[in-house]
Amino acid sequence: MITLIRFEQSDFPRFKSWIESEEDLLQFAGPYFSFPITDRQLEKYIQDPKRRIFKITDTATKEIIGHCELNFERNIPRLCRILIAKNSERNRGYGKSAVNALLKLLFIEDNYDTAELNVYDWNSHAIRCYEAVGFRINKNITSEVTIGDTTWKSVLMQISKSDWKANLVR
């Protein structure tokens, strides 16, 4: 259904076109980038050795439909910046496929035992997607970010290799 391909400089214009507002950017990337995204920010991003960054491609059509990242800044690797760009492509299984592809890289190829991600607590579509793969919310770890007069709460979700494998069988 999807293929993960290395994100590179030639992808910058498309990537920037997907982010139309500060809210879009914060929802997708957290506070990592500042709006509007510049080539300089993206250059720094792709040169960071603690990140493996991908574009998500529909295997059948070869169309680039999204973006995702594996982040190795902490002891437990994180799935980050997962975006299915077009609304018309969302809720069609691409997000779940991308998450499973990232977890396969971590758990099978890299042999990690645990992975995590952050998601805003109001993003119910994303939370359902992550739960469908086997992630569970750790209610003890949250953070907040303010945008304008609004505060967004982020929750940490975690998954073990064994839970992921068990979910694949279902």
Give the mean model confidence (pLDDT) for residues 21-48.
Answer: 93
> E strand or H helix at 124, and its extent?
helix 124-133
d(CA 22, CA 72): 25
pTM of the model: 0.94
Domain ranges of the chain: 2-169
Q: How many CB atoms lie within 10 A of CB 59?
A: 10
Residue pLDDT, tens place only, 51-94: 999 999 999 999 999 999 999 999 999 999 999 998 778 888 99
In CATH terms, the superfamily for domain 2-169 is Gcn5-related N-acetyltransferase (GNAT) (3.40.630.30)
Q: What are phi and psi of 112, to 5 degrees?
A: -80, 160
